[in-house]
Amino acid sequence: MQITYDKTFSRHLGRDMEFKRYGHSGKPMIVFPTSGGRFYEFEDFGMIDAMAHLIDAGLIQVFTPDSVDAESWDNQSLEPEERALRHNQYDLYIVEELVPLIRQWTSWQGPLLAHGSSMGAFHALNFYLRHPDVFNGAIALSGLYDARFFVGEHFGYNVYINSPIDYLKDLSDSWYLEYYRKGDLILCCGQGDFEAESLRDTRKVADLLREKNIPAWVDIWGYEVAHDWPWWRYQLVYFLEILLEYQGILHTPN
């Protein structure tokens, strides 16, 4: 497997950002780490090994950027709006810096796939919903989709636009809705240990998607399915293989 490490200076974040690339061809998938996780977390927890057959076959390539959660949502020393503003800089880094670099490296000009688990699922869904012209699919596992979990009840506009449960409720813009209705969105959550909050948010998002007539595959797994890496490894491969076999999104031409 081709594995590349790189570090580039982000003009939006004002600091170096590290990431790794796995694979040589196929649809690019950006993976967001869990809370406190780093760019190497996805590999360290066996996710790359689990999907190696798809990467080696040239069906998908994986990019694992660092997050700035410690400077944004997890930074208790900042007010909610300040945390959201730092995240917005991260948003610009991903869309205006990392994605163009991925396109340059891979010659892939089509839309990308977003993925993450737990905090990473929050990012995956949020990037998919905010930038449906950049991402036409997301696989979000055991996510938290209400920004109140991070900042509490009192927040302003910049937190609002990063809280899927809030902005989906108010969304009526046909530009976004038309993109969503052509996309491939998967939300999955178990009902086992440490999944209660994720299960609550997943069901809330599912209800909002139905109200807006936005198609999505919302899959609630059993009571033995915990908020942990062994299940996420299994779930990611399960959903990727189904997308490949039945929907063909991994065959989108360059």
Per-domain residue ranges for the chain?
Answer: 3-251
Point out the least confidently predicted range of 16-25, 65-74, 79-88, 242-251.
242-251
Query: Mean of the pLDDT values across residues 24-50?
Result: 96
Pick the CATH number of 3-251 from 3.40.980.10, 2.60.40.10, 3.40.50.1820, 3.30.300.30: 3.40.50.1820
Give Dmax (Cα) for the chain.
48
Residue corresponding to tokens 């649809």: 27
> What is the predicted pLDDT for the residue at 254?
39
The pLDDT tens digits for 105-133 are 998 999 999 999 999 999 999 999 999 99
pLDDT of residue 249: 52
The region that residue 54 occupies, defined by phi over 0 for left and psi between -120 and 50 for alpha, beta otherwise, is alpha
At residue 253 the predicted structure's pLDDT band, cuts being 50, 70 and 90, is very low
Question: For residue 225, with 0-12 CB atoms within 10 Å meaning exposed, 13-18 middle and 19 or more buried, which class applies?
Answer: buried
- Indicate if the pLDDT at residue 234 is higher than 80: yes
Q: 166 pLDDT band (50/70/90 cuts)?
A: very high
Collect all residues with Cβ–Cβ distance below 8 Å to 100 and sequence separation of at least 6: none
Please provide residue 157's backbone torsions phi and psi, each rounded to the nearest 5 degrees.
Answer: -60, -45
pLDDT (0 to 100) of residue 238: 96
- Range in 48-57, 150-159, 205-214, 221-230 with the lowest mean pLDDT: 150-159
User: Where are the alpha helices (H) located in the chain, listed in sequence order?
Assistant: 41-44, 47-50, 52-56, 80-92, 99-106, 119-130, 148-151, 157-160, 164-170, 174-180, 196-211, 229-242
Would you state the structure tokens that stand for residue 203, as one six-digit string? 């069901």
- Which stretches does DSSP call E strand in 13-52? 15-22, 27-32
Give pLDDT, residue 247. Answer: 57
